[in-house]
Amino acid sequence: MRIYAIAVYLFLYVPIGIIVLFSFNAGNHASELRGLSVQWYGKALSNPFVGDAFITSLVIALTVAVLSSLMGTAAALALQRLKGRMRVLFDGLIFVSVMIPGIVIGIATLVALVTVFDFLNPILASIWPEGSQAPKLHMGYASVIAAHTLFTMSLVIIMVRARIAGMDRALIEASMDLYATPWRTFYQVTLPQIYPAILAGFLLSFTFSFDDFIISFFVAGPNTTLPIYIFSSIRRGITPEVNAIGTMVLVGSLILLMTAQYLMRERDKTK
């Protein structure tokens, strides 16, 4: 059993180790190790495309995470008191949005937005005052954020809802019984109880958005996110620069994950 476990861990980590190892490659060829150096880190960091792609991904992922946790939490709280046909409708939409493949979301969003923009842009141009440049709607940050948020928002709803369901209903009643108004009950009792789920949802949303390739690939328009950049460099031919970027992303996520874990443990000593 233990040997099996070790084998699985090797299986999980050897590839990651190889990426890290080759990121220190002194040579130019990705697949041949010729001495060690950090030159590719320097190259990656000084490459403006990499920097831009990183910033783009970061901005998008942060926005997605904030939007999803806010809207997802709000919706989860509202859904818990909603009954009847609206409830069924929302449950259905949540189910579909989680289940539908990212690639279909990407395609459908692309097609729909292009159609809507093609329809709206001439109208905008015609009603815009003469002399000034009419704004032109196009794919970009907003479309990526919107498409990512569709999925991550539903994830947050599911996570927060599970936490609400697991919460002792008597806690809310106890708070009401002890003279707290519904609003005070919410932020003194409910919020601290569901907070871990919201934080987990935030992190998951961020990671999903930051790592997503396929949706962004369709709806990012002229913008390049980090995964798109990595994908196209792999397509162009592999250089150790990709390994250096990959290693930095790995280390970055690790730090983020550990910080989050630490924060959670500090705050959530409730279980």
Partner 1 sequence: MTAQSKITKTYDIEFKGVTKRFGDVLAVDNVSLSVERGSFFSFLGPSGCGKTSSLRLIAGFDQPTEGDVYIAGQSVVGTPSHKRPVNMVFQQYALFPHMNVCDNIAYGLRQRSPRPSKQEILKRVDETLEMVRLSGYGNRRVWELSGGQQQRVALARALINRPTCLLLDEPLAALDRKLRSEMQMELQTLQRDVGITFILVTHDQEEALSMSDRICIMREGQIVQLGSPRDLYDDPKNRYVADFVGKTNFFDGQVCDINGAGVTVQLDSGLSLLGAAPKNVPQLINGSKASIAVRPEMITIAAADQVNSNAGVSLPGKVINRIFLGERSEYLIETQGHGEVLVLSPKNITGSTQSFVPGDQVSISWQPESALVLADT
Partner 2 sequence: MKEQSKSNRWLTAVLLTPTGLWFAFMLVLPLIVILVFSFGERAPVGGYAGGFTLEHYANLGARLKAFTNTLTYAPVGTLLSLLVAYPLAYYLAIKVNRRYKLILLVLVIVPFWTSLLIRTYAWIYILGGKGLPSILDWIGFEGVRLINTPGAVLMGIVYGYLPLMVFPIYVSLEKLNKSYLEASSDLGASPYKTFMQVTLPLSMPGVATGCMLVFILLMGEFLIPAFLGGGKVFFIGNALVDLFLQSRNWPFGSAISITLVVIMLITVSLYMRMTMRNSKTGVDESLM
Return the number of the residue (190 or 233) whose C-beta is nearest partner 1: 190
Comparing CB distances to partner 2, the nearer of 51 and 92 is: 92
Distance CA 161, CA 198 (A): 10
Within 193-232, the residues that bind partner 1 by CB under 8 A are: 193
Residue closer to partner 1, measured from CB, 73 or 205: 73
| 174 lies in the site for partner 1, by CB under 8 A | yes
Contact 25, 33 (CB under 8 A): yes
Would you say 34 or 267 has its CB closer to partner 1?
Answer: 267
In the complex, what is the shortest distance from the CB of residue 185 to partner 1, in angstroms, rounded to a whole number? 8
Say whether residue 189 binds partner 1 (CB under 8 A): yes
269 forms part of the interface with partner 1 (CB under 8 A): yes
Minimum CB distance to partner 2, residue 131 (Å): 32
Contacted by 175, from partner 1, partner 2, none: CB < 5 to 8 Å by type:
partner 1
Does residue 151 contact residue 97 with C-beta atoms inside 8 Å? yes
- Which residues contact partner 1 by CB under 8 A? 168, 170-171, 173-182, 184-185, 188-189, 192-193, 268-271
